[in-house]
Structure 1
Amino acid sequence: MSTSLSQDIAPLLPYLRRYARALAGSQKSGDAYVRACLQALVGDHTIIDRDGGVKIGLYRLFHVLWNATVIPPADADGSASIFEQTAQERLSTMAPESRQTLLLSTLEGFSIAETARIIDKTPDEVSKLITQAIEEIDRQTKTDVLIIEDEPLISMDLTQIVESLGHSVTQVARTASEAIAAAKSHTPGLVLADIQLADGSSGIDAVKDILANMSVPVIFITSFPERLLTGERPEPTFLITKPFNPNTVKAGISQALFFKGSNAVAA
């Protein structure tokens, strides 16, 4: 890969990893696809189409590799989590392109035209796929949501978004200790977590404690996603950037619940 192409791609990798993880439902599987994409580029840098820009070309290449299924299934070695196992069952009944389109246009912020170029569809086809994906995912079981957020206006926005999707907010926790206590009091079906909280405590620490006692999908919300997407340590599968677009949060919730174990319902 040429030096200039490497420099252009480097700042895009945290976001490609975010997309890959949301699509695959796990850090391990998502990162494996990203590595395969980079290895293909190293082998032949001409395979990336840069006519629409390096970012669109990179995602377009990833899309081709994803559909070619170059990575073994996540459960091939028996290590798949309940989320991944459930996802594979649900994926078999959902058109893959509708999920890819939803993620590209909401989580990754591509326009309809850009998304169409990435997946090689017309804009009208992309619009229909997005509608399909939302309808299919919304048919999943509604759940109870724990929000860990110390900013009142942001927590109000998140509450409104959660409830607009038909879910219920069990509690809004402003500190790590409040969050841990809330989860113990009422098992959530989903957690939306900020990272820096009111008393200086950490949303990451709160989530670690919660996950030590139960299996629940978590969406982290932060102003600096690149700090959590280095590929050097265990990282969140679902990550949303502040300031957020409500549609991005909706898509993130739908995706997180898509991978939620069918037996992991709210108490």
Structure 2
Amino acid sequence: MGNCHNQHLLFLFLLGAPALALAQKLPCQKSTFVGLESDPIYTFNWTTDNVEICDNGALCQETVLMIRAGRTNTAVLATKGCSSEGTPAITFIQHSPPPGIVTISYNNYCEDPLCNNREDVYEIWPAAELEGPATLHCPTCVALGTCLNAPSLPCPNDTNRCYQGKLQVTGGGINSPLEIKGCTAITGCRIMSGIFTIGPLWVKETCPFKSLTPRKVESGAMWLPTSDWRLELPLLLLLPLLVH
């Protein structure tokens, strides 16, 4: 009698196993967007009706990377969907804050049904800064692909150099090159601040090689600007040898 009862419980357990496995498959919003927005706070709509069912153990994710140079359009690269990696958390990074070129990223990993449901970027995208009297002008553009036109525009206060570089963004259903030119206070090829993994996105930053043109600093020493800040210290150490 006891064996029969145990077999009946085992049958009920096995009958419920498929339903339990199905319940573990998380539904997530699914979308990708790559484009230029005049003002993402008001023009970028991150809502979607598309849904995908994730594999067991996967999370929902939503990730956006946004880049602006001056008063040009803003590049927006956004993805939503399932992710087999990550832990539940929200990450917001200002890679290059205002003034000048602004680069921010936002990523949300979550584990509830359709939890990757942010509709806009109102709370995470800064308003454009006002331009003051400027002595520095830089070629300025943000483009998907290559800049076809980069007018020389006045720089905002507290910027002191021109930046020119390219990004290659891949992952999350996105594979897009970008070119960025504009004013900045950041030294070297670092508008991503050395952080190249953003949720499912991977970003490669490259800048053209600059000629070694010495210039004097206040101490009277010579500084050799390079496209890679990691080269500056070895070059400074070599200067006494070059002088003698």
TM-score (norm 2): 0.24
Higher helix share: 1
Higher strand share: 2
